[in-house]
């Protein structure tokens, strides 16, 4: 629109000023009465001269007609200039409007506004621009492109300096003892109506509350909670605001009404009336998970993060005798202790699904049967009357191999073990699909499950997964960094790595449900070398839902072909659609370069073609014609993308034009000198493992040697 307005203004100037000026000047030249130059810039002089004689008007009209024809031809090109595309690079104003701009120095970030962390997209000097919103990202770069050093390490620094601000409001109604007793009676009556299905009043109250919440959300206001207390009582504001377990936070209370703040968060209400409490909460630092196949990120960042107040954990699947320990069955054991059998059943089935991914090479029957065996074993061991140190997958493997062996009469003790559990027992219910199969088919399930659980027969893996040295439920309560070392030289640990990522997501999602569906502290998944871990269960579903739970994913790829090979073409399209921020650094895959070029877009350009004919005679001049046309030209074609200069990158984000940016190596940041490499690899001193084997000799006639195969074996 601005381009058309500028062209129309130029045409008006040419017709109303330049045309008359040229006309008057030409006539003055012919009559040898040339005036000073400034007279021809005077519109009054020009128009007095123009209307003095008819010949002036005729010449001016012809000259304006020529100008108009030339300009309208140009306007025709301008009107169709967007016919083949109107893509353009993002302006500085657009970049500053969407991304947060701050200065990252040696001692932290300065300037700009404090905001949640995200992926870095640009750096100039010590000034950086990064994504503020919780949107997932894909980073594309070849092995030698330095995508980890250019984006992941600076983004970790941003996360360690991030601040998430939140405002909460609490309305308190203070009643006398008599009025408070009547209030309790009314609430009891409403509850009775609700239980007895006479809940018209209850539904009206709920409808009003939903409408108020919607109104507050439209105007971006903090919806106030409302409580009623008795005069003279004290309330703990941290418990009402759900911030009791949060650490590394800044809390500021302000309230109006007759109340007094005791200690840090104890409010004493000494008189009747209404009190409005406003909480300004700043949550410092963000937690994150890092997939670190080469262990370079852990060595580089560990000391710095510890100094920043982080809890840093390491799950090393290459050197299992170092780092921390993690028991995949921790959540199942905890849920059964809390009598949450449904959650325990879901956790056990998720573990089985992670260990036994679906395969196109085998029928669904075999996968489901194997999963049923593993889930039933997990639930049986988690609910067994034994020490917690024995409730692990190593015990599941030993029970399967010990009780799952048929004797001379083809009698399998494991079948009797599950079938004689109480009806309704969660382990027996999980065993149901396998129990319905024939003996021969069930033995095939046992063999497959034993092969899957075989990785836990290794003493190193068994000791590493025998217990948990960290609590995943606390990852959002305090700043936490967890590094996973998944060896790239072997694929036997891939299923355990995927299981660990699934467990983090699952547990944090449950924690988010406890706090209104959203984690108080943002959690990042920096998944370096995404394709090396293999297929993660329900990744598109995780990407589509986790953003609302304040969990952000960052996928690192060399090209889109890696995803298509693992997830298939259709699922890959869904994954890419859920990642609304894409950073391209380099690739050697032509199809990926073409797709990125298409995402960047094309602009319409004017091309000129000249055809020329030369006569046979010497004195005949060459003649021909010139034609102009419009065509599409990508802002960067595939060839230019594959040759993109080192340090340059292309950022594609939803609701903005593509961005050609600079992303230098992390060594050019001011904080790089603070990174003190951690080279120690202390060895753990694990206790010997004794698996738990159910003693069922008194119930079934089972050969004694069969039960004592690994009954007391230590590793």
Quick one: pLDDT at residue 703? Answer: 42
259 and 369 belong to one structural domain: no
d(CA 447, CA 679): 42
73 and 179 belong to one structural domain: no
Q: Does the pLDDT at position 1 exceed 70?
A: no
278 and 340 belong to one structural domain: no
Quick one: pLDDT at residue 190? Answer: 67
Quick one: pLDDT at residue 624? Answer: 64
Quick one: pLDDT at residue 642? Answer: 93
314, 683 in Cβ contact below 8 A?
no
Contacts from 588-594 at CB under 8 Å and sequence distance 24+? 588/142, 588/559, 588/642, 589/558, 589/559, 589/560, 589/561, 590/638, 590/642, 591/559, 591/560, 591/561, 592/140, 592/559, 592/560, 592/561, 593/638, 593/639, 593/641, 593/642, 594/638
- Examine residue 568 and state whether it is found in any structural domain, yes or no: no
58 and 178 belong to one structural domain: no
51 and 168 belong to one structural domain: no
Paired with 625 in beta bridges are 611
- Examine residue 201 and state whether it is found in any structural domain, yes or no: yes
Q: Which of 231, 259, 284 finishes a domain?
A: 284
Structure tokens at 492: 């036997």
360 and 444 belong to one structural domain: yes
Quick one: pLDDT at residue 520? Answer: 92
CA-based torsion, 111, 114, 115, 117: positive or negative: positive
- What is the distance in angstroms between the CA of the first residue and the CA of the last residue of the chain? 77
- Examine residue 53 and state whether it is found in any structural domain, yes or no: yes
- Examine residue 19 and state whether it is found in any structural domain, yes or no: yes
Q: Does the pLDDT at position 59 exceed 60?
A: yes
Burial of 384 (0-12, 13-18, 19+ CB in 10 A): middle
Question: What pTM, to 2 d.p., does this model score?
Answer: 0.82
The backbone torsions φ and ψ at residue 255, rounded to the nearest 5 degrees and listed phi first, read -150, 155
Helices 494-514 & 539-546 angle (0-180, nearest 10)? 30
- Examine residue 147 and state whether it is found in any structural domain, yes or no: no
Mean pLDDT of the chain: 84
253, 278 in Cβ contact below 8 A?
yes
| Enclosing H/E stretch for 555 | strand 551-557
268 and 345 belong to one structural domain: no
Task: Residue 535: count other Cβ atoms within 10 Å of its Cβ.
Answer: 17
266 and 332 belong to one structural domain: no
351 and 438 belong to one structural domain: yes
Q: Does the pLDDT at position 196 exceed 60?
A: no
Q: Which of 62, 79, 96 finishes a domain?
A: 79
- Examine residue 497 and state whether it is found in any structural domain, yes or no: no
Quick one: pLDDT at residue 218? Answer: 57
- Examine residue 295 and state whether it is found in any structural domain, yes or no: no
Band the pLDDT of 710: cuts 50, 70, 90.
very low
The pLDDT tens digits of the residues spanning 596-635 come to 999 999 888 777 777 766 555 444 555 567 677 777 788 9
Domain that holds residue 238: 164-284
The pLDDT tens digits of the residues spanning 645-696 come to 999 999 999 989 999 999 999 999 988 988 888 888 888 888 888 888 887 6
Structure tokens at 139: 């980073």
Percentages of the chain per state (helix, strand, coil), in multiples of 5: 45, 20, 35
Band the pLDDT of 22: cuts 50, 70, 90.
confident
379 and 459 belong to one structural domain: yes
Strands (E), 176-328: 225-230, 234-236, 249-256, 260-262, 266-268, 273-284, 287-291, 311-316
| Residues 691, 695, 700, 704, Cα dihedral to 10° | 70
273 and 214 belong to one structural domain: yes
* Rounded average pLDDT over 376-385: 93
At which residue do the structure tokens 């409403």 appear?
A: 190
Quick one: pLDDT at residue 208? Answer: 66
Q: Which of 79, 101, 131 finishes a domain?
A: 79
Least confident among 181-195, 197-211, 259-273 = 197-211
Quick one: pLDDT at residue 713? Answer: 38
* Rounded average pLDDT over 514-540: 91
Q: How many structural domains compose the chain?
A: 3
- Examine residue 515 and state whether it is found in any structural domain, yes or no: no
The pLDDT tens digits of the residues spanning 466-493 come to 999 999 999 999 999 999 999 988 888 8
At which residue do the structure tokens 């109104």 appear?
A: 215
Q: Does the pLDDT at position 97 exceed 80?
A: yes
256 and 178 belong to one structural domain: yes
């Amino acid at each position: 629109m601005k381009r058309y307005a500028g062209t129309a203004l130029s045409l008006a100037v040419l017709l109303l000023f330049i045309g008359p000026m040229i006309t008057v000047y030409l006539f003055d030249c012919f009559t040898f009465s040339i005036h000073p130059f400034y007279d021809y810039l005077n519109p009054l002089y020009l128009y007095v001269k123009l209307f003095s004689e008819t010949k002036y008007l005729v010449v001016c009209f012809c000259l304006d007609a020529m100008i108009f024809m030339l300009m309208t031809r140009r306007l025709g090109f301008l009107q169709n200039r967007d016919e083949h595309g109107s893509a353009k690079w993002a302006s500085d104003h657009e970049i500053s409007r969407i991304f947060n701009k701050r200065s990252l120095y040696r001692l932290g970030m300065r300037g700009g506004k404090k905001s949640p962390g995200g992926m870095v997209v640009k750096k100039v000097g010590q000034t950086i621009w990064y994504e503020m919103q919780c949107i997932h990202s894909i980073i594309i770069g070849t092995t030698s492109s330095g995508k980890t050093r250019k984006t992941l390490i600076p983004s970790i620094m941003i996360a360690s300096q991030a601040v998430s601000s939140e405002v909460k409001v609490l309305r308190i109604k203070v009643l006398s003892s008599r009025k408070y007793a009547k209030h309790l009676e009314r609430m009891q009556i409403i509850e009775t109506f609700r239980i007895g299905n006479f809940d018209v009043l209850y539904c009206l109250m709920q409808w009003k509350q939903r409408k108020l919440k919607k109104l507050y959300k439209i105007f971006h206001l903090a919806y106030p909670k409302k409580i009623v207390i008795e005069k003279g009582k004290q309330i703990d504001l941290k418990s009402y605001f759900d911030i009791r377990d949060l650490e590394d936070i800044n809390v500021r209370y302000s309230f109006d009404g007759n109340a007094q703040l005791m200690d840090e968060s104890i409010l004493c209400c000494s008189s009747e009336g209404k009190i409005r409490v406003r909480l300004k909460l700043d949550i410092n630092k963000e937690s994150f998970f890092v997939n670190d196949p080469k262990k370079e990120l852990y060595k580089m960042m560990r000391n710095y993060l510890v100094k920043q107040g982080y809890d840093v954990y390491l799950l090393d699947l290459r050197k299992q005798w170092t780092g921390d320990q993690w028991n995949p069955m921790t959540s199942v054991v905890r849920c059964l202790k809390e009598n949450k059998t449904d959650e325990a059943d879901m956790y056990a089935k998720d573990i089985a699904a992670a260990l036994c991914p679906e395969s196109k090479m085998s029928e669904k029957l075999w996968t489901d049967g194997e999963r049923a065996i593993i889930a039933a074993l997990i639930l049986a061991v988690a609910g067994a009357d034994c020490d917690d140190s024995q409730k692990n997958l190593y015990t599941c493997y030993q029970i399967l191999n010990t009780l799952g062996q048929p004797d001379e009469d083809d009698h399998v003790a494991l079948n009797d073990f599950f079938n004689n559990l109480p009806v309704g027992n969660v382990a027996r219910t999980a065993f149901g699909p396998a129990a319905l199969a024939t003996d021969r088919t069930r033995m095939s399930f046992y063999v497959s499950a034993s092969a899957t659980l075989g990785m836990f027969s290794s003493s190193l893996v068994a000791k590493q997964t025998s217990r948990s040295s960290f609590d995943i439920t606390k990852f959002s309560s305090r700043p936490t960094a967890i590094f996973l070392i998944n060896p790239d030289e072997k694929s036997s640990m891939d299923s355990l790595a995927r299981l660990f990522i699934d467990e983090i997501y699952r547990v944090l999602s449950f924690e988010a449900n406890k706090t209104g569906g959203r984690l108080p502290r943002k959690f990042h998944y920096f998944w370096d070398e995404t394709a090396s871990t293999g297929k993660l269960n329900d990744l598109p579903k995780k990407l589509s839902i986790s953003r609302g739970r304040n969990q952000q994913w960052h996928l690192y790829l060399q090209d889109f072909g890696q995803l298509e090979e693992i997830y298939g073409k259709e699922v890959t399209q869904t994954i890419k659609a859920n990642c609304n921020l894409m950073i391209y650094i380099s690739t050697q895959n032509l199809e990926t370069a073409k797709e990125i070029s298409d995402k960047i877009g094309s602009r319409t350009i004017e091309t000129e073609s000249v055809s020329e004919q030369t006569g046979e005679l010497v004195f005949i001049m060459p003649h021909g014609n010139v034609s102009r046309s419009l065509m599409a030209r990508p802002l960067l074609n595939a060839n230019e993308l594959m040759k993109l200069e080192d340090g340059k990158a292309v950022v594609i984000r939803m609701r903005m034009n593509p961005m050609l940016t600079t992303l230098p190596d992390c060594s050019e940041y001011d904080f790089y000198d603070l990174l003190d490499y951690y080279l120690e690899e202390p060895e753990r001193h694990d206790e010997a493992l004794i698996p738990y084997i159910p003693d069922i000799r008194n119930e079934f006639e089972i050969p004694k040697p069969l039960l004592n195969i690994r009954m007391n074996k230590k590793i």
